[in-house]
Structure 1
Amino acid sequence: MTQKLRVTGPRESIFNNEVVSRFELYNSLFLTLPFYKIKDTGTLLPLFIKHCEDGVKNLKTPAEIIKSFFERYTQTTDPKDIIDLLFRFIQYIERQVVLFDAVEDASFTKLNTTEDHSSLRSMLKKSEFNAELHEKIAKLIEDFSLRLVLTAHPTQFYPGSVLSIINDLTTAIKINDIVTINQLLQQLGKTPFFNKKSPTPVDEALSLTWYLENVFYFAAANIQSEIDSSLEEFNIPSKKAIELGFWPGGDRDGNPNVHAQDTIQVSKMLRQILFRCYYRDFRKLKRRITFRGVEETVYKVQDVLYKNAFDTNIEPANISEFLIENLNQIKDTLIEFHDGLFADLVDDLLRKVELFGSHFASLDIRQDSRVLRNVHAYCRQFKPIISLFPENFDELGEEEKIQLLSFKTAKVNYSGDADSLTTDTLQTIAGIRQIQQQNGELACHRYIISNCQQASDILQLMELFLWNGWDEKELTIDFVPLFETVSDLEGASQIMERLYTHPFYRKHLESRGNKQDIMLGFSDSTKDGGYLMANWSIFNAKVALTATSVAHNIQLAFFDGRGGPPSRGGGKTHRFYASMGKEIANKNIQLTIQGQTISSQYGSIDSAEFNIEQLINAGISSGLKEKHNILLDSPHKDILDVMAKDSFDAFVALRKHPLFLNYLERFSPLSLLSKITISSRPVKRSSGEKLRLEDLRAISFVTAWGQLKQNIPGFYGIGTALKNQEASGNWDKIRKTYQESGYFKTIIDNGMMSMSKTDFSITAHFAKDPEFGDFWKMLRDEYERSKEMLLKLAGHTTLMENYPVEKRSIAVREKIVLPLVLIQHFALENLQHQLDDEQLQSYEKLAIRTVYGIVNAGRNSA
């Protein structure tokens, strides 16, 4: 099915032998997959794939390709039978994607050698005879932390049952166990990939806990163990470096299906799953520790762990200190009386308890500022608060509002009916206290205010806490503004300046250790201003916010809302952090892990450990170099300012084109995404029928372009910007910027990644469309312009030339799913015709089913 790839280097050779060849071998087993109704599906699929490739090369339409295939290779003419066979093809290809994922994951350690990155130990080794450097590294480690936050965004399609098969399949492939591989592929063929109905927020949380239980529980502890041993070797105090965050059940921004009881339920679920992990480990430990002197402590710990893991009637409490104290007693006894035998097993469990406490992952709460303003207005109607505010409070200016905020602790007497969002907000504020009491403060201590546009958005939320059961002296909450749009990013530092100088907020920050988290959104800023402008706006915002925080002696941590694809902040993420200059706070790296990025980068212990270590090393090495970022110097900054503006103008002109949304709705499955049963979150924020771009979620926006294989958000406008620089005689300067700035180079490289997953030949027939032909040509022309200019800038002949293995992986994956793309276009085209209800449902279902495989194959395409 897949052509052999030309070998050009050692890693490419490994990829060819370990991935492509084994995929071809195991792919033959798909001929016997247990699908029903259609005979010889496995035999016909390779013919269909080849027919699709030839059809695209000859610029045939999807309808022409599919029609000619059935005429040439089958006796089928009935539309219903054609749809049935296409569904079988989809099922096969979905599972081929899983197989390729498993084969690639099985080869992960061979494809990602230690030569690809420096380790913490190697950094310390270099400083062994340099006291000044050693001290600097020690200080960086003392201050550093990494927080990975799993989010419930609707592009992680695999349920737990399929994830378990993938995990087992990867293990079998590592040792070429053909019998087991065949059995697992048979199991995969019979295992449903998708739910019949949309999951609840709790269902989403349960699905993501698979990664916590099976991957992060081990990977985070293993990396922490390496850090501990490295620090011990070089006489540096141990430091907890890794934290986990969790959004399902806590993120209610634009999701009316999340309620306070869900948040409480998810916190309990996280706790119970964690204690089952602890109990599982402790049972293994107990089988080895059969000595005198520890019996009583062992049984005491086992009893507590068992009850917390399995007894649903137990009153939850934060017992991490109890566990640490008793595990240390066991360890001390082993060291003193039993030569330290099996003390390493106790150390392993101790390390996990110190990492995960009684909560596993911190549950973040997120809500839109507009909702929180409405809740504040609701509370102001009642005693004793009503006397503190004028009726026209919402119409006042920002400074007048802030002056009226009194931050008085009060018990509000509510007497009127509140809407569901208001009720949820008030119940959640009370619920956070319950979660902290049961699982510890770290279990739920951050409230993220999305669409934060003014300082009062945060200050009013603080008042809501004081009015609803919280005391000023015990306000164990970190308030995190989220700046998303280009204009919000531009004004972010002024907002934080206002907060840092506000007496009440400053006093609160002091109680929280003078630490401030600020979240920046990559997805909405790209949707708002295009790829280059979004990245440049975030860079400038980080510089300004860092300067403001330093001026007020605040330890700043940026929480980056990154999606999977480059257009949503993904791509070579660790290279962004490694390229930070001293003008950007980078000691505390925090980022979201979402969509297929969870399975592709953190789907196995090997890959999770590698990517966690990459991020930690990026943060430490960035601080170690403390390079001044040349993008802040003229002429670099001036050129980037102009380029970002040119790119922004081009992108906004595209967005304002009268055919923009119509094109996306007509040729992509955008209007059908709401029918995909993988998420509790609506596709758009408003409930109205008419689709508006401002209401469309960035993830749906990017997904739709990815399905079209055009990836407009990942590059559009950058070609125009570069072309303008060339025409202005600045080409040598921009080349110098590219060569000297790691940050700018990463932006360009990630843009090339987006373009590598773009193929306008698939939609070449759009050029003849009487309504959309010129619009398609405009998109294609910017792609060609961007490709030409990016290659010229990088000095390359092909896209992703400096990432040959990733480039080849993308090429194979795109080849696997090409039939899905064509089937999708075929279905969407038929949906434009007059159909009866049965036909309408059949073609809609056909189009929807293709989305899963295309997204999963892309690994970071949505």
Structure 2
Amino acid sequence: MTQDKDAPLREDIRLLGRLLGDTVRDQQGESSFDLIERIRQTSVRFRRDDDLAARRELEGILDALSREQTIQVVRAFSYFSHLANIAEDQHHIRRSRAHLLAGSAPREGSLAHAIGHAIDQDIACPAELAAFFDTALISPVLTAHPTEVQRKSILNCQTVVARLLDERDRMQLTPEEAENNLEALRRAVLTLWQTRMLRPTRLSVIDEVSNGVSYFESTFLRELPRLYASLEDRLSKADPALGALELPPFLQVGSWIGGDRDGNPFVTAEVLEQALKMQAAAALGYYLDELHTLGSQLSLAHGLVSASDALLALAERSHDSSPHRSDEPYRRAISGIYARLSATHRTLLGSDPIRHAVADAEPYLNVEAFSDDLDILHRSLQANGSAALARGRLRHLRRALRVFGFHLAPIDLRQNSDVHERVIAELLEVARPGTAYLEQDEEGRCALLLEELATARPLASPHVQYSDDSESELAIFRAARAAHLRYGKAAIRNCIISKTDSVSDLLELAVLLKEAGLLRPLENALDVNLVPLFETIDDLENASIIMDRMFSIPGYRKLLSDARQDTQEVMLGYSDSNKDGGFLTSGWALYKAEGELVETFARHGVRLCLFHGRGGSVGRGGGPSYQAILAQPEGAVQGQIRLTEQGEVIAAKYGHPEVGRRNLEVLVAATVESSLRPAGADTTPAAFLEAMQALSDTAFKAYRGLVYETPGFEQYFWESTVISEIAGLNIGSRPASRKKGTHIEDLRAIPWVFSWSQCRLMLPGWFGFGSAVKAWLNANPDDGLARLQTMYRDWSFFASLLSNMDMVLAKTDLAIASRYAALVKDADLRTSIFDRIRAEWKDTVEVLLAITGQDELLAANPLLKRSIRNRFPYLDPLNHVQVELLRRHREQSGDERIRLGIHISINGVAAGLRNSG
């Protein structure tokens, strides 16, 4: 009899659902429970049995809800989405462990598979793999998201639920233990129900920083060192000659939160300083706690074990005079290290840690000094018969310090090129009246900027009061310079220029960096990377031309060589290119830009590091990271890759420590595999490229025709989605648009894509593909479909595009979307646009199935299909209620309970979809 592998998942979902139902009954009464249960059963019947009578019944129930009933329903189904996510994560862990226990072959995306494949195929020996990591850089970068900033209290409750499910799964519990576990789960669900899901006031940037730091505390600080240890041990086992291998810190987690100013006026120098301080507090707090525990563990007595002279000297300097530890040199040494780190805490943060040191001590001047003391412990243990002890907590602490330093995570600075342009124009006009920088052409601007970069003389005067924009920008860069002096240069490594479309955009930033001392011409020193962000379709097409011109400037090329190890980072914008040109054209423009950049960089002898500005949704470059990295053009992943992690994807990927570890491992494995592919192994046939260009041209016209050329489309979008509520409900710290108004051109990509996801249309993830393929088949009636089928089979880029589209289309629901469309007041406008969208959706599904050979959507992805089957009956009611709440809000916008209900429903729908933003 075949084992039902998904049975434990269904059992967990039923258990959590039952506990949530019991909680609702106890807290809200039998009538509330009966109402929610009736909604659930009707929704299940409608979703699983395609029962149209059930749909009408469901709509009737939901439309008749009172205001208080609506809030209870929204809360119940939102919490169920979060609990279902926990159950799914636990099931992924369960299945991974089952594979390992059964001795199954390593799965794709694992380090065991990537390293084993490289060695078995003679692509690289263990020593070459170890050398690969010497120059590698793999960095997921957390960014703030206006709809997914969960309170730490909620995250804590979810962590407890996950831990208790894990306990039930891994341990053979006695009847009493099982009852205690169930009671603890009941308490955790009750606490979750009684905990406010949302903050009552507008989110600040600092709230977002706090949320980001929580993932370091729960996942990264502990799991990253374990991942390094696993990789090192695997390589050493493959080649014992490598010995006790210690890889450099190639895998790091970055952050934009507190440094991303593009469109966010609330990110100031003071906010940046506070973000850095909060991060440092988390890092130092972790190290102090680990040292305290390590001191309790290393109780080695000098009469029973030897110690190095350096260790004995360290113990002697500790001023730990306790007679109980007089013959325990390791404990005394750790007391001294703790005292110095405690003093560092006081120096950097202005406060003492909660647990005081045994004596006063000098603070560490830098991370290296702290690391040196830990190395003394390590070497002494290694040399005196205690090597096994060095491989425990001390190993992880030493690794954590090398990865996280005193800064925890490097914060990227980002600003729009238009702002830099205005600031430079003002600085030049004050210093050299009549310069008229804004009236200069590109050649004239570059000449002025290069002239400034050739001298160490600053432009800004301390005796001049500049505009608020200029003062704010200068203050940010000065704060970055101060952060380097305080926390080390690793605290801020990158300055990103949004909307880069010229060489002068890069040179403007260079001049501003010089103003703060981050670029020092006389020393040929550049302390941060200048990172252009190419976002629109036109900008992507011009990216390689701009970088070629930049590398042709002798002064800049020398800066790269002397100060940045001949490496240049380039960021590619998935979100704005999608909003500009649609899913298919965006993907193709990105692919072509990467290939052209690879050629340009190779010609100039510069190493390329691509930074992928991906969102959670497919419309913003989302989708499985493993496939996305392997689908890059040849040479695009040269051991270095950064990518943004946004929205509810952060919680989904990194909210649970083991799931977080698995996702980090996937990034490393994919980078290794992509970087080490033999040259020419994935040469793309010219016929594929020609077909893709033709498809892109037609898809672009279809997308632009709908979004930018259809009269009234802007009104349709604002009335049929939650965009106006996202813009006006105090969600997140960042405005929804870069400018005042409703123009789609000015709208930020996150709320654009997120709004389509909330109404279950997912339009940015597929629109235009159906029209493109239909036109292609008409033009190529004989072999058109066969060629597309071959492209899907043999070209990883095209296969990845279609796989992501398959996922998005499966999460689309036209019946639910039609209810959102009904919010559009103009009936003719509503009908004409929705009918176009519906026709394109049908065409897209039809051609996708024809190319992939599937009978239905997600036939090739049973895991995701199962997930949708399990969660959508509980997600659908949230959408139906959200529509009703939107209608009521727009009729009586002053009702705070309705506003709260909309916000909770947004959170719940996002949690149910898992990659909507």
Residue number in structure 2 paired with 1:744: 798
Residue aligning to 1:343: 390
Cα 1:380–1:103 change in 2 (3 A) is: same
Q: Could you give the per-residue CA deviations for residues 636-669 of structure 1, whole angstroms, max 9, x where no partner exists?
A: 1010001111111110001121232222222211
Q: Distance in 2 between matches of 1:455 and 1:199?
A: 36
The whole-number CA distance in structure 1 between the counterparts of 2:622 and 2:490 is 27
Deviations 1:512-557 (A, max 9, x none): 1111111111011111100011111001000111111111110110
Contact 2:529/2:564 (8 A) holds in 1:
yes
> In the alignment, which residue of structure 2 is the partner of 1:812?
870
Return the letter of the residue paired with 2:732.
S
Give the superposition deviation at 1:404. Answer: 2.4
Pairwise CA distance, 1:63: 9.5
Q: Matched residue of 1:370: which SS?
A: helix
Deviates more, 1:309-318 or 1:454-463: 309-318
Q: Which amino acid aligns with 2:856?
A: T
* Structure 1 counterpart of 2:261: 252
Give the TM-score, by structure 2 length: 0.87
Q: Which runs of structure 2 are paired with 1:78-93 in the superposition (5 Å)?
A: 82-93=66-77
Q: CA deviation at 1:221?
A: 1.0
1:44 Cα offset (Å): 1.6
Q: Are the counterparts in 2 of residues 646 and 720 from structure 1 also a CA contact under 8 Å?
A: yes
Structure 2 CA distance for partners of 1:334 and 1:379, relative to 1, 3 Å: same
2:431 aligned with 1:377: no
Structure 1 residue 742 displacement after superposition: 1.0
Select which of 37, 43, 47 maps to 2:38.
Answer: 47
Whether the aligned pair in 2 keeps the contact of 1:199 and 1:677 (CA below 8 Å) is yes
Partner of 2:686, secondary structure, is coil
Q: Secondary structure at the match of 1:49?
A: helix
Query: Structure 1 residue 228: deviation in Å?
Result: 1.5
> Would you say 1:305 and 2:346 are equivalent positions?
no
**1:287 aligned partner, one-letter code:** S
- Secondary structure of 1:479's counterpart equals strand
Structure 1 residue 630 displacement after superposition: 5.5
- The alignment partner of 1:491 has SS state of helix
Q: Tell me if structure 1 keeps the 8 A contact 2:217–2:282.
A: yes
Separation of aligned partners in 1, 2:693 and 2:682: 14
Out of 713, 716, 719, the position equivalent to 1:663 is: 716
1:103 maps onto 2:87 in alignment: yes
Q: Indicate whether 1:734 and 2:788 are aligned.
A: yes
Q: Is the Cα contact below 8 Å between 2:109 and 2:670 reproduced in 1?
A: no
The residue identity in structure 2 corresponding to 1:300 is: G
Q: CA deviation at 1:770?
A: 4.0
CA distance in 2, matches of 1:676, 1:832: 12
- Deviation string 1:90-120 (CA, Å, 9 cap, x unpaired) is 1111111121111112222223446432544
The question of 1:487 aligning with 2:538 is answered yes
CA spacing shift, 1:537–1:423, aligned 2, 3 Å: same
Question: Which position in structure 2 is the counterpart of 1:323?
Answer: 370
Question: Counterpart of 1:288?
Answer: 297
How far apart, CA to CA, are the structure 2 residues paired with 1:264 and 1:317? 20
Q: Distance in 2 between matches of 1:825 and 1:696?
A: 22
Name stretches of at least 5 consecutive residues in structure 2 with no aligned partner: 101-105, 169-180, 303-328, 352-361
Match of 1:527 among 545, 558, 579: 579
Does residue 442 in structure 1 map to residue 490 in structure 2? yes
Paired residue type of 2:753: V
SS in structure 2 at match of 1:571: coil
SS at match of 1:294: helix
Kindly provide the amino acid, as one letter, of the partner of residue 9 in structure 2.
V
> Contact between 1:546 and 1:584, CA under 8 Å: does it hold in 2?
yes
Matched, 1:400 2:444: yes
SS in 2 for 1:148: strand
1:708 paired residue among 759, 771, 779 = 759
Give the aligned residue type for 1:519.
M
Aligned 8 A contact 2:575 2:621 in 1: yes
Q: Does 1:208 align with 2:212?
A: yes
Letter of the aligned partner of 1:301 in structure 2?
Answer: I
Distance in 2 between residues matched to 1:24 and 1:842, nearest whole Å? 30
Question: Pairwise mapping of residues 272-671 of structure 1 onto structure 2 (< 5 A)?
Answer: 272-291=281-300, 292=302, 293-309=329-345, 312-313=349-350, 319-340=366-387, 342-344=389-391, 345-383=393-431, 386=432, 390-405=434-449, 406=451, 407=453, 408-411=455-458, 412-470=460-518, 471-472=520-521, 473=523, 474-510=525-561, 511-626=563-678, 628=680, 632-655=684-707, 656-671=709-724
| Counterpart-to-counterpart distance in 2, 1:318 and 1:646 | 60
Deviation at 1:328, TM superposition (A): 1.3
- Cα distance change on mapping 1:168 and 1:36 into 2, 3 Å: closer
**Residues 92 and 552 of structure 1: CA distance in aligned 2, closer, same or farther (over 3 Å):** same
Which AA in structure 2 matches 1:487?
A: D
Partner of residue 153, structure 1: 145
Tell me the CA shift for residue 573 of structure 1: 1.8
Deviation by residue 1:140-176 (Cα, 9 ceiling, x = unmatched): 3333221111111223232111111111100101233
- TM-score scaled by structure 1? 0.92
- Asked whether the 8 Å contact 1:144–1:620 carries over to 2, the reply is no
Cα gap change, 1:60 to 1:43, in 2 (>3 Å): closer
Match of 2:737 in 1: 684
Say which of 223, 239, 247 aligns to 1:239.
Answer: 247
Identical counterparts, % of pairs: 24
Counterpart of 1:363, as a letter, is I
Corresponding residue of 1:196: 200
Q: Distance in 1 between matches of 2:18 and 2:681?
A: 52
CA distance in 1, matches of 2:909, 2:140: 26
- Report the Cα distance in structure 2 between the residues aligned to 1:780 and 1:228, rounded to whole angstroms: 52
Q: Structure 1 residues 673, 61: CA separation in 2 closer, same or farther (over 3 Å shift)?
A: farther
In 2, the alpha carbon distance for the partners of 1:147 and 1:719 equals: 35
Find the residue that maps to 2:666 and give its secondary structure: helix
Offset at residue 845 of structure 1 (A): 4.1
The question of whether the paired residues in 2 share the 8 Å contact of 1:274 and 1:360 is answered with: yes
Cα 1:682–1:63 shift into 2, 3 Å: farther
Q: Tell me which residue corresponds to 2:23.
A: 33
Give the alignment partner of residue 116 of structure 1, picking from 102, 107, 110.
Answer: 107
Pair 1:551–1:238, CA change in 2 (3 A):
farther
> Residue 164 of structure 1 aligns to which amino acid in structure 2?
N
- SS across alignment from 1:154: coil
Q: How does 1:159-178 map to 2 (within 5 A)?
A: 159-176=151-168, 177-178=181-182
Bigger mean CA offset, 805-814 vs 523-532: 805-814
Query: Structure 1, unaligned stretches of length 5 or more?
Result: 1-6, 72-80
The 1:667/1:227 distance shift into structure 2, 3 A limit, reads: same
User: Contact between 1:515 and 1:556, CA under 8 Å: does it hold in 2?
Assistant: yes
**In 1, are the aligned partners of 2:578 and 2:764 still within 8 Å (CA)?**
yes
Task: Measure the CA separation in 1 of the matches of 2:116 and 2:712.
Answer: 59
Q: 1:165 to 1:307 in 2, by over 3 A?
A: farther
CA shift digits 1:213-245 (9 cap, x unpaired) = 110111211111112212323245643320121
Tell me how far apart the structure 2 counterparts of residues 783 and 409 of structure 1 sit (CA, whole Å).
59
Total equivalences in the alignment: 834
* CA drift at 1:486: 0.5
Check 1:96–1:118 CA distance in 2 against 1; reply closer, same or farther (3 A cut). Answer: closer
Q: Separation in 2 of the partners of 1:121 and 1:826?
A: 50
SS of residue paired to 1:560: strand
Aligned equivalents of 2:112 and 2:61: distance in 1? 60
Q: Which amino acid aligns with 1:102?
A: I
C-alpha deviation, 1:814, in angstroms:
2.0
Deviation at 1:208, TM superposition (A): 1.0
Describe the shift of the 1:317–1:567 C-alpha distance in structure 2 as closer, same or farther (beyond 3 A).
farther
